[in-house]
Amino acid sequence: MKNLGYYNGKIDLIENMTVPMNDRASFFGDGVYDVTYARNYIPYCLEAHLDRFYRSAEKLRIRVPLEREALGRLLCELVRKVDAPEQIMYWQVTRGTAPREHAFPVGTEANLWVLLRPQPVKSLAETLTLHSVEDTRFLHCDVKTLNLIPNVLAEQEAKDAGASTALFHRGERVTECAHANVHILSGGRFITPPTDNLILPGIARMNLIRICRDLGIPVEERPFSMAELMAADEVLTSSSGEFCLRVTAVDGKAVGGRDGETLQRIQDALLADFLAATDV
């Protein structure tokens, strides 16, 4: 297959799939999701992504229709049905199908979606520019929920400003980007916001921390300000779709560019980790 869509056991090309209008994703974005790359038909960091997926579902009191091990097996089976060795894997669970009502439907089975499509890993040589936006999202950003309208609006504002993506902040405190975590290198240290309820605990962020410690780079998990970010030796983002990219400008002002050697060591180690984990 050139791509694959899955909905509660039905499989077809994504463009041929349909879902019920009463799926609660349509009305409330009532669900959670996760995403990762697959290379050589091997999903990258699948166990960590499943951990986060089930943790997010539990926080929303959604019962995933498959046990964790069964879902892992299903994803590994589905990825082999797509005719491409490099794919982006996306899956989500919604609370179920029921007439529109805000309160949870009683006795309704959750709906499981999977979307797979060919997509090579992005080059880590790519750089980004950021546009800062006040973070007005709700206070459950640690849940990888389908409710992404604030992210969508912020991302469009960034595009309209000519930037690559949006950078969220709450007052002076930097939180994250519209679809990535954000970090700084300062004085040879890797500094990343703590995983409280204001940011998503990114799997790529987790890998970055592990890689930095392996390389002997001190790691600090603490809040940092917009002023600290602007003065940092390097600014970088991380996500499952882009691993780790360098930021060159924020709101039209140049940032970073003073510790490219450390950043390159981190990027090289991340890419090597991905290739080793997905080699056959």
CA–CA distance, 36 with 184 (Å, rounded to integer): 23
Domains by residue range for the chain, with CATH: 4-118 (3.30.470.10), 127-277 (3.20.10.10)
> What's the mean pLDDT when you consider all of the chain?
97
Closest CA to 133 of 162, 171, 164: 171
Which residues, 6+ apart, have CB-to-CB distance to 231 below 8 Å?
186
Tell me, what's the pLDDT at 91? Answer: 98
- pLDDT tens for 119-143 read 999 999 999 999 999 999 999 999 9
10 catalytically annotated? no
For the chain, what is the largest distance between any 2 Cα atoms, rounded to a whole number of angstroms? Answer: 57
Please state the φ and ψ torsions of residue 37, each to the nearest 5 degrees. Answer: -90, 155
Angle at the Cα of 18 from the Cα atoms of 16 and 24, rounded to 5 degrees = 155
> Is residue 12 pLDDT above 90, yes or no?
yes
Closest CA to 150 of 162, 164, 134: 134
Burial class of residue 24, CB neighbours in 10 A (0-12, 13-18, 19+):
buried
- The active-site residue out of 2, 81, 122, 144 is 144
> Is residue 45 pLDDT above 90, yes or no?
yes
Q: For the whole prediction, is pTM greater than 0.85?
A: yes
Tell me, what's the pLDDT at 106? Answer: 86
Q: 106 versus 78: which is more confidently predicted?
A: 78
CA–CA distance, 183 with 236 (Å, rounded to integer): 5
Instruction: Please report which confidence band the pLDDT of residue 171 belongs to, taking 50, 70 and 90 as the band edges.
Output: very high
> Is residue 188 pLDDT above 90, yes or no?
yes
